[in-house]
Structure 1
Amino acid sequence: MEQGNYSVGLDIGTTKIVAIIGKENEYGKIEILGIGRSKSLGVHRGVVNNITQTIKSIQQAVELAEGNSGLKISSVVVGIAGQHIRSLQHSDYITRAKSEEVINEDDVEKLCNQVYKLVMLPGEEIIHVLPQEFKVDGQAEIKQPMGMYGGRLEANFHVVVGQVSSIRNVGRCIKSAGLDLGNITLEPLASANAVLSQEEKEAGVALIDIGGGTTDLAIFKDGIIRHTAVIPFGGNVITEDIKEGCSIIEKQAELLKIKFGSAWPGENKDNEIVSIPGLRGREPKEITLKNLSKIIHARVVEIVEQVYVEIKNYGHDEQKKKLIAGIVLTGGGSQLKHLKQLVEYITGMDTRIGYPNEHLAGDSDEEIASPLYATAVGLLMNAVQNKAKVREARQEAVEKEEDNGVFTGEEHTQTKTALKKERKSIFDKWSEKLKDFLDNAE
């Protein structure tokens, strides 16, 4: 299959690295062509802290995905997370010189580009500028200002900020693994694309993605992203607590958590015991499942309460900002038994587990529809959308030529290029800036 027909998402997580290859089928669903997963050894709490190990893990995942699909991976869309990510609200405006002309894409782009010039703290860089509502000449609550008349164009923005060094390190790992960085996106946004429906985003929903090293939060209301946060705790701290509390090795603690773990201590009877083989000729250890779930419960409550503080910071208590669709849990940590009930108990909000199968073709492997792969599927969707934009631009160029019927071969190419440039989203432009930035950093 030619390179043009498939896209690749690469999820660089704290516990695992997933490379996922797919393409859009004729029904608009994502068909998975290959998947590769490797243990992540150089990432701590969502941030790369060992370049060599991370490169090795990326190469392993990529080779497995290539072996599975028989395809060659060259360009990938990568997610970024970690405790260095923060978000802020910002308002900005532009005064248009020609108010008698309608507002077009260039005006919106000019306004967004102005936000990119915001002065950040030393070592920080803007990752996303996401327009929320627009105002035209004081008229508020406009979702799409294109085509309207007005002299002053104003907007509220959700701005996501991250550390330059962390972004640069991710770029370095991709490059050193022999890949091109196609795009970079915030992981909670990728997960949200994979598991949330448009109705939920309209009604108001909080997506909680519990990964190995971090718990990511994305809040949507009226179809617009309203708040994002990254909490520096995830499934790994639960494993760590089990290891310490039961005096066992990490591998055993992880297995215990997955097989017998529960977030609700009342579920286990006092006489339910699991026996763990001792190390090197030592006596086996006996652990009661009640104690195990008490350890898990204590840490999960802490994580959920921190997330709930962020949901309240957004303003969930206000009638206008109420999240009617409640909470959607995803990520590997969401598979913990009775977690849904515990989250409902703490927050009082409706909760469901989010599976990324809504956008996958019907014949996809069941394993891929697990919450574990939500971010990877979201990144793949982002890669497919980017490819579709380029294809659309090409199609438009060809149609334009056919209409005129006078283009030479050279003009044909020029029009294509011009249209491609015109259709580039602000985010693609940011990606290009980032690529130049990474190249110069070598």
Structure 2
Amino acid sequence: MEHNLAVGLDIGTTKIVAMIGRKNEYGKVEILGIGKSKSLGVHRGVVNNITQTIQSIQQAVQEAEAAADLKIEDVTVGIAGQHIRSLQHSDYITRPNSENVIDEDDIDRLINQVHKLVMLPGEEIIHVLPQEYKVDGQAEIKEPIGMYGGRLEANFHVVVGQVSSIRNIGRCVQSAGLNLDGITLEPLASANAVLSQEEKEAGVALIDIGGGTTDLAIFRDGIIRHTAVIPFGGNVITEDIKEGCSIIEKQAELLKIKFGSAWPGENKDNEIVSIPGLRGREPKEITLKNLSKIIHARVVEIVEQVYVEIKNYGHEEQKKKLIAGIVLTGGGSQLKHLKQLVEYITGMDTRIGYPNEHLAGDSDEDITSPLYATAVGLVLDGLKRQERKKIEEEEVEDVAEENQTEEIREEPKKERRSFLDKLTERVKDFLDNAE
């Protein structure tokens, strides 16, 4: 695939989306094609039926290929799911020679040290995000490179996940005939698509309400500070409506989308929806007030769990305050009056996030729906990776030209690779060697 194209594959609990995007000359992203299929075989963000997931992926990919008239090979995939958790950890290294300035290698050594943390069985570190550094006890250093010092320490935000779940996703992608180009944490992808740089600086919590999970990502001073995945999403709301009103799932989902509201006070007592009964049975009458009571109870539960995570991050402390409040995205954010409910529960300013932060101005209405936040974010991530590759290749060529002779090919100074790049490679190696 050419350099300025990338494909995001969002394997969700409710839907699978394949999205093809490219950078235009103004540095904005144009979406060339989009395909979506019903996701079968994913539960709470985790693949639990490989065969069904492969079929759903192929269907979404074919649809996107047809729309863009392109063949898809490489994809960037998101991981979320109920197995993701995060922890705070601080670590330090003592440098052998404090007369040299701190460089990339020191930071690598420090980060590799974090990797030695002992995890629960089956868990692996997905992401190590340095928060701030200390050099010889001097705190709050954002960038230690180029400084002198003997002891380098840092606080890290460490994201942990189940390695088998990640490999299963890799397996599905590979079996669908695609090449795994990169893996990204879904809350990070959605955040890239929806949040502005100012919000990330001021402090903001992004809540992405999907079908099976609700993802949270908190930023402050431009750095990601906290991530969490809560194993509930829009599906549990539908489930409750289904049980509470004794109707089938399809009807419950439609009721939720068409008439649902998170705020019971809105509906008058006499507003009634009639639902056709199953074969030969009487239609059912459901009051909208009852419907919104059911929805309200569930949504409050989800929002309160998210709020617990925001408190865990410590937003009540002055220097951790989230000035930009909360941004809601994902399909679940389209529920009526959800914004008001979230403001009421958390007391924080709230807006609905549309993934148009980096999209070209003439993008289709559909694409900028909160439903596609993760997919757009994955495309952005893929494009960034393409650019890095291109720069590295050019550097290799430059070095080769300078040396002319093939033997002394010096490795150009390469950017520190992120954990996710390393993780992608480990997953790829595993899949290549696994039977």
- TM-score interval (norm. to shorter): over 0.9
Q: C-alpha displacement at 1:392, in angstroms?
A: 1.5
1:95-120 per-position Cα deviation (integer Å, ceiling 9, x unaligned): 22232222222221221122122221
3-state SS of 1:292 partner: helix
* Alignment partner, residue 235 of structure 1: 234
Query: Whole-Å Cα distance in 2 between the matches of residues 123 and 425 of structure 1?
Result: 21
How far residue 430 of structure 1 moved from its aligned partner, in angstroms, is: 3.0
The ranges of structure 1 where at least 4 consecutive aligned residues each deviate by more than 4 angstroms after the TM superposition are: 398-402, 420-423
Residues 424 and 126 (structure 1 numbering): CA distance in 2 closer, same or farther, change over 3 Å? closer
CA offsets per residue over residues 244-272 of structure 1, 9 Å max, x none? 11111100110010011000111111111
- CA RMSD after TM alignment: 1.6
Distance 2:369 2:427 in 1: 32
The separation in 1 between residues aligned to 2:93 and 2:261, in whole angstroms, is 53
In structure 1, what is the Cα distance between the partners aligned to 2:394 and 2:298? 53
Q: CA deviation at 1:359?
A: 0.6
What residue is the counterpart of 1:362 in the other structure? 361
On the 8 A contact 1:127/1:160 being kept in 2, the answer is yes
Correspondence list, 1:249-264, <5 A:
249-264=248-263
Deviations 1:22-63 (A, max 9, x none): 111122211111111000010001111111000100111111
Distance between the aligned counterparts of 1:313 and 1:4, measured in 2? 41
Distance, in Å, in 2 between the alignment partners of 1:222 and 1:193 is 15
Specify the alignment match of 2:432 in structure 1.
439
Q: Report how far residue 422 of structure 1 moved.
A: 5.4
Question: 2:3·2:387 contact (CA, 8 Å) conserved in 1?
Answer: no
- Aligned residue pairs: how many? 435
| SS state at 1:248 partner | coil
1:44 aligns with 2:43: yes
The residue number in structure 2 matching 1:244 is 243
Structure 2 runs not aligned, ≥5 long: none
Contact 2:133 2:139 in 1 (8 A): yes
Identical residues among aligned pairs (%) = 82
Return 373-382 or 318-327, whichever deviates more: 318-327
The SS at the match of 2:166 is: helix
Q: Distance in 2 between matches of 1:204 and 1:304?
A: 19
Q: Is the 8 A contact 2:135 2:150 kept in 1?
A: yes
Work out whether residues 37 and 57 of structure 2, in 8 Å CA contact, stay in contact via their aligned partners in 1.
yes
SS state of the match for residue 18, structure 1? strand
Which deviations, in whole Å up to 9, do the C-alpha atoms of 1:166-197 show, x marking residues without a partner? 11111111111111111111111111111111
Taking the aligned partners of 2:22 and 2:335, their CA distance within structure 1 comes to 31
Between 58-67 and 420-429, the greater mean CA deviation after superposition: 420-429
Q: Which amino acid aligns with 2:216?
A: L
Q: Determine helix, strand or coil for the equivalent of 1:3.
A: coil
User: Residues 320-372 of structure 1, C-alpha deviation per residue, up to 9 Å, x if partnerless?
Assistant: 21111110000000000000000001111000000100110112111010100
**Aligned-pair distance for 1:64?**
0.7
2:420 to 421, 427, 435: 427
Does structure 1 retain, via aligned residues, the 8 Å contact 2:34–2:63?
yes
- Tell me, yes or no, if structure 1 residue 378 matches structure 2 residue 381: no
CA distance in 2, matches of 1:429, 1:314: 27
Question: Does structure 1 residue 135 correspond to structure 2 residue 134?
Answer: yes
8 Å CA contact retained: 1:207, 1:328: yes
Aligned to 2:197: 198
Q: What TM-score, normalized by structure 2, do the two folds share?
A: 0.96
Moved more, 21-30 or 251-260: 21-30
Contact 2:45 2:80 in 1 (8 A): yes
SS of the residue aligned with 1:4? Answer: coil
Taking structure 1 as the reference length, the TM-score comes to: 0.95
* Number of the residue aligned with 1:407: 404
User: Which runs of 5 or more structure 1 residues have no equivalent in the other structure?
Assistant: none
Query: How far apart are 1:423 and its partner, in Å?
Result: 5.7
Does 2:121 correspond to 1:125?
A: no
Residue by residue over 1:200-224, the C-alpha shift from the partner in whole angstroms, topping out at 9 and shown as x without a partner, is 1111111110000011111111111
Cα deviation for residue 431 of structure 1 reads 2.2
Mapping of residues 141-156 of structure 1, within 5 Å:
141-156=140-155
Post-superposition shift, 1:153?
1.6
Aligned position for 1:115:
114
SS, match of residue 212 in structure 2: coil
1:50 alignment partner AA: N
Match of 2:288 in 1: 289
Residue 4 of structure 2 is matched in structure 1 by 5
The answer for the alignment partner of 1:268 in structure 2 is 267
1:387 aligns with 2:380: no
Q: CA-to-partner distance for each residue in 1:288-339, whole Å, 9 max, x for gaps?
A: 1111111111111111111111111111122221111110000000000000
**Residue by residue, what CA displacement relative to the aligned partner does 1:57-112 show, whole Å, maximum 9, x if unpaired?**
01111111111111111111111111111101111122222322222222212211
Deviates more, 1:115-124 or 1:420-429: 420-429
**1:399 to 1:278, Cα distance in 2 relative to 1, 3 A:** same
Distance 1:235 1:205 in 2: 22
Asked if the contact 1:210/1:333 (under 8 Å) is kept, the reply is yes
Range moving further from structure 2, 340-349 or 428-437: 428-437
1:93, 1:295 → 2: CA distance? 50
1:391-440 Cα shifts (integer Å, max 9, x gaps): 122233445566x4x524x369x45xx23855644432232123223333
For 1:401 and 1:137, the matched residues in 2 are separated by 40
Instruction: Encode CA deviations 1:98-152: one digit per residue, 9 max, x unaligned.
Output: 3222222222122112212222111111111111101112111111111222222
User: Within 2, Cα distance between the matches of 1:152 and 1:159?
Assistant: 21
Residues 93 and 317 (structure 1 numbering): CA distance in 2 closer, same or farther, change over 3 Å? same
Q: Does the aligned pair in 2 maintain the 1:109–1:426 contact within 8 Å?
A: no
In structure 2, how many angstroms separate the alpha carbons of the residues matched to 1:83 and 1:133? Answer: 28
Distance in 2 between residues matched to 1:441 and 1:107, nearest whole Å: 34
The answer to whether the 8 A contact 1:394-1:419 is kept is no
More helix by share: 1
Amino acid at match of 1:87: S
Q: Output the CA distance in 2 between the equivalents of 1:371 and 1:388.
A: 26
Q: Distance in 2 between matches of 1:213 and 1:74?
A: 28
Give the counterpart letter for 2:431 in structure 1.
Answer: L
AA aligned opposite 1:391: K
Aligned to 2:145, what secondary structure does the other structure show?
coil
